[in-house]
Structures are given as C-alpha cells and as structure tokens.
Amino acid sequence: MRTARLASLALATMLALAACAQGGAAPFDQQFIDMMVPHHQGAVEMGKIAQQRAQKPEIKAMAADIVAGQDAEIRQMKEWRKTWFGSDQTPSMDKMPMVEGMSSAGHGGHNAATTMDMAADVDALRRAPEPFDRAFIDAMIPHHESAVDAAKAAATRAQKPEVKKLAADIVTAQEREIAQMKEWRRAWYGS
C-alpha cells in the first residue's frame, strides 16, 4: 500500500514538473518573475561592464542607475516568488524563459524560442570592440525593449497588483532610458 502511494506521489510530482517545464502550468506572475529576474541579472552584469569600460560619463551614470535599480527589483521579485510560489529560485541567465504573451520575442537577434541566453549577451558585451559606449547602447536598447515587451504583457495578464505595478514601472523607466540612448547614439555616432 505504501509503495503504491509513493509511486502515485512520484508520478504526480513528475507530471507537475513536466507541466511547469512546458510553461503551461505556472501562473503568469511566476512566469514573469522567472523571466524578469535573469533578464535583470543580465542588465546588471552589462551595467557593471559599462561602469568599467565606458568612456562617456553619461553611460557610466546610466549603468550605475541600471545596476542599483534592477538589483533592488531582483531582490523584490525573489521575495515575492518565495512568498507566493514557495521558492525564490529562478532560472539561470543562460536559460531565461520567455513569458506568454510577448509580442516580439525576436528583439536583439534572439529567436522566438521559449528561452533566451542572457549570459551570451553579457559575454558579447564583455568582448565588444571599441567604441564601447556605442556597443553598450546597441546591446542595451534591444535588451530593454524585450523587458518592456514582457512588462506590457504583464499589464494585462498578471494577477498580483504588485507585479502589475512593477511592470508599469519597468515600462516607464526603460522606455525613458531607450529614448535617451537613441538620442545619445544619434548625437555621438550619427545614426
């Protein structure tokens, strides 16, 4: 009897894990956190690289803001995930899942697969040739665009008001930074 119960429990656990792996079983709020934490971790790492390599003080200042702001948001999302879903563990940067409802998974040369490799983006920026500031802008604009896209999906799909508020804040901050980087790119590099 006990063996049958254990086998039944094991099967139920495997089915639940398989459903989560397919992305269909996790609530949208969990999907959003599981995407946005590694996405933000990628931006933080890119910001740290810019703090070391950038020439322009404007890029260094933006990078510092990205590191500080997104580190705080990572801590908040991990707290929510632990409280709401029982664990603060999220996927790694190299296996960042996409959220359902994103309109443009292809930003920045990424394909429309179910995962994106933020670690590869960080490594590419680390090896970027000079002028670094232009490489940072060219990497961070599509990075921010994909975050805005996911956050806009959260505006209609998230259940938790905290996630909806964070998503709105991400859209506001990152659209502002995108506009600023596009302006710098035109002013400094002519296109």
pTM above 0.85, yes or no: no
pLDDT recorded at residue 100:
76
Position 115 scores a pLDDT of: 67
Return mean pLDDT, the chain.
Answer: 84
Q: What is the pLDDT of residues 144-177, one digit of tens each?
A: 999 999 999 999 999 999 999 999 999 999 999 9
Three-state helix/strand/coil letters over the chain: CHHHHHHHHHHHHHHHHHHHHCCCCCCHHHHHHHHHHHHHHHHHHHHHHHHHHCCCHHHHHHHHHHHHHHHHHHHHHHHHHHHHHCCCCCCCHHHEECCCCCCCCCHHHCCCCCEECHHHHHHHHHCCCCCHHHHHHHHHHHHHHHHHHHHHHHHHHCCCHHHHHHHHHHHHHHHHHHHHHHHHHHHHHCC
Delimit the domains of the chain by residue range.
27-189
Q: What band does 98 get if pLDDT is binned at 50, 70 and 90?
A: confident
| pLDDT digits 0-9 by tens, 25-42 | 589 999 999 999 999 999
- Locate 69 and state its tokens: 């702001």
The CATH code of domain 27-189 reads 1.20.1260.10
Encoding tokens for residue 111? 């394909």
